């Protein structure tokens, strides 16, 4: 017993010398083979939170949160790792036994309205219905002693998909394959009558193993109301909450939302992953747009995927060199590949939802056809590198000319035969 007490003292003393954000991770590793010591240390930490000097600077930390150091469910909160418009995301560790860290999503106290309580409970139901390798897993959920609802998710140490691709200098084909997994995750959600409504790079995290994970269903919409507990209040607070650069025209206008809205956002995401730009440049913010801004965002057709690259080839600006470096290619090659991919992406960006891909899986299938050397919109073979022998607009004239020539040849043959 004396040895155990001394070990506990040493553990606490060593933890006190570490920065706040490292203390609980260190404890988890130090007690990995001794669950009893881990429980004792966690209990001691809980008692010392409001008194011990080693924790006193926590409230001054930039990651400070009213629940840091407190127990939420079976977890002890160690730091704040993210923040959104309504909620904070906290890092938690198991209190009773060593185990993996988790992400805990909880409403900020200042925003704790009944509508937001309902919204988080709906999100829990949504995540509970989803089981896909490319969607972040829901592990647990409940309410604190004060009645604050929370979600416990798997903790993903990943990077937003655009940053992941750029830092690893992924070429266009690698980006397309990664994006296909995102399409299939979105399709899985749509099969459960769930529309994400906020698809953007920061909501697609890629792990160190290269696995993309779709996160944050905070403003997702359930199309089949039978899937939502009828005792809940469907909120109006999130109806127009969106990220303008990635929102579909109908979402910006406040029209009815269908899975086609997510198809549009997927198109914007792929447009950015390939070209480095979004189709329209508006301020990125989750906010309600005024009608004039909505008209600007929805009445302008998206440009060709290679427009900026094509116009910059003669000048070779520094940004083009950086763009090519991040994609492990050369300007002329990038311009040609983007031109070939433009129809594939622009189909998802049609302003009329009925003209977009029917399903997210159809989008992924179009990418499969492109990667296999077939046009994404048809079964016609395409030449990956060489340009067509004749411009597309000349093909009808050529067909007519060939037909006329054949008719003349047949007529001459009949004439001479007589």
What residues act catalytically? 198
Alpha helices in 258-306 (DSSP H): 259-275, 291-298
Structure tokens at 58: 């926590």
- SS3 for 322? helix
The residues, any chain, with a CB within 8 Å of residue 74's CB and separated by 6 or more, are 94, 95, 96, 140
**Residue 339 DSSP SS3:** helix
Decide: residue 156, CB within 10 A, 0-12 exposed, 13-18 middle, 19+ buried.
Answer: middle
Distance separating alpha carbons of residues 179 and 187, to the nearest angstrom? 12
Tell me which residue has tokens 């050529």.
Answer: 398
List CB contacts of 177: < 8 A, sequence separation 6 or more. 367, 371
Identify the DSSP state of 103: E
The closest alpha carbon to 45, from 66, 81, 75, belongs to: 75
């Amino acid at each position: 017993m004396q040895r155990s007490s001394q070990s506990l003292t040493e553990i606490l003393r060593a933890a006190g010398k570490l920065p706040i954000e490292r203390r609980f991770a260190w404890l988890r590793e130090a007690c990995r083979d001794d669950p009893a010591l881990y429980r004792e240390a966690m209990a001691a930490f809980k008692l010392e939170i409001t008194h011990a000097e080693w924790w006193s600077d926590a409230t001054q930390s930039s990651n400070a949160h009213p629940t840091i150091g407190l127990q939420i469910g079976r977890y002890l909160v160690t730091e704040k790792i993210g923040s959104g418009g309504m909620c904070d995301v906290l890092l938690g560790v198991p209190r009773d036994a060593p185990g993996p860290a988790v992400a805990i999503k909880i409403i900020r106290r200042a925003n704790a309205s009944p509508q937001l309580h309902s919204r988080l409970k709906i999100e829990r139901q949504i995540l509970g219905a989803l089981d896909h390798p490319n969607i972040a897993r829901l592990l647990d959920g409940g309410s604190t002693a004060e009645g604050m609802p929370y979600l416990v998710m798997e903790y993903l140490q990943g990077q937003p998909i655009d940053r992941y691709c750029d830092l690893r200098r992924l070429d266009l084909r690698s980006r397309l394959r990664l994006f296909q997994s995102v399409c299939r995750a979105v399709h899985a959600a749509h099969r459960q009558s769930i529309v994400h409504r906020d698809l953007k790079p920061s909501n697609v995290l890629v792990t160190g193993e290269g696995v993309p994970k779709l996160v944050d269903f905070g403003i997702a919409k359930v199309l089949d109301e039978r899937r939502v507990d009828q005792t809940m209040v469907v909120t109006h607070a999130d109806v127009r909450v969106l990220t303008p650069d990635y929102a579909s025209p109908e979402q910006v206008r406040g029209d009815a939302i269908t899975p086609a809205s997510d198809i549009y956002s997927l198109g914007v995401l792929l447009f950015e992953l390939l070209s480095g730009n979004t189709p329209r440049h508006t301020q990125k913010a989750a906010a309600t747009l005024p009608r004039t801004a909505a008209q600007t965002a929805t009445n302008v057709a998206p440009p060709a995927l290679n427009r900026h690259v094509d116009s910059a080839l003669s000048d070779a600006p520094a940004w083009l060199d950086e763009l090519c470096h991040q994609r492990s290619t050369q300007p002329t090659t990038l311009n040609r590949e983007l031109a070939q991919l433009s129809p594939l992406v622009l189909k998802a960006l049609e302003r009329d939802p009925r003209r977009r891909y029917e399903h997210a899986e159809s989008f992924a299938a179009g990418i499969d056809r492109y990667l296999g050397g077939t046009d994404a919109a048809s079964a016609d073979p395409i030449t990956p590198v060489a340009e067509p022998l004749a411009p597309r607009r000349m093909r009808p004239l050529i067909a007519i000319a060939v037909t006329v020539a054949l008719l003349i040849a047949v007529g001459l043959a009949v004439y001479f035969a007589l």
